[in-house]
Structure 1
Amino acid sequence: MEVLNASDAKREFGELLLKAQSAPVGINKNGKPVAVMVSAKEYEQLQALQEAALKVEIDAGLEDIKQGNISDGHNVINRLRQRL
């Protein structure tokens, strides 16, 4: 992944937009990574992956509820206290 410092990214923003269409471009400020620019298509794909992962976790939680694999808050707190 190509990485630019923030001032270069600002100065070459048009070029940065073109580069981001083909591959992610990292942006550093004061030598530290602060952002990554990606194409709109890649962003949409990332969002879809996140939504799919969240749906899997929600479905697993709902299945736990159906099977009775739940604990009330007091039991959870008591188990945590016992660990300490």
Structure 2
Amino acid sequence: MYTLNANEAKTKFGAMLMKVQSEPVEIIKNGSPVAVVVSLDEYNKIEQLKMELVKSRFENIDESDLVDGKTFREELNAGKYD
């Protein structure tokens, strides 16, 4: 992955936009990674994969997997899904 510091990303924004068409660009600020810039095409692919994952999780659901909203909130607040 190509890496730029935050100042370089700002001053070389046009070049960075060109670079993300071929690979993600990591942005470093104060020595720590803070962001990754990707092309719109790559972003759309990631979003599609996330949607496919969500859909696959619902394909195998049955009545025993369902809870009412109040129960879910209580379980969520209790840390069951952490």
**Does the alignment reach a TM-score above 0.5?**
yes
CA change 1:64–1:10 in 2 (3 A) is same
Is 1:59 the equivalent of 2:69?
no
Which residue in the other structure is 2:24 paired with?
A: 24
The amino acid of 1:27's aligned partner reads I
Tell me whether 1:7 sits opposite 2:11 in the alignment: no
How big is the shift at 1:69? 4.8
Deviation at 1:57, TM superposition (A): 1.4
Unaligned runs of 5+ in 1: none
Alignment TM-score, normalising by the size of structure 1: 0.73
Give secondary structure in 1 for the equivalent of 2:62.
helix
Structure with the largest fraction of helix = 1
What is the number of residues matched between the two proteins? 72
1:71 offset after TM fit, Å? 6.2
Structural RMSD (CA) = 2.1
Say if 2:40 is the partner of 1:40: yes
- The list of structure 1 runs, each at least 4 consecutive aligned residues, that deviate by more than 3 angstroms after superposition, is 68-73
Deviation at 1:14, TM superposition (A): 0.4
The percentage of counterpart residues that share the same residue type is: 42
Cα displacement (A) at 1:70: 5.0
Structure 2 unpaired stretches of 5+: none
Q: Distance in 2 between matches of 1:69 and 1:14?
A: 49
For residues 69 and 4 of structure 1, the distance between their equivalents in structure 2, rounded to whole angstroms, comes to 46
TM (norm. structure 2) is 0.75
* Structure number with larger C-alpha Rg: 1
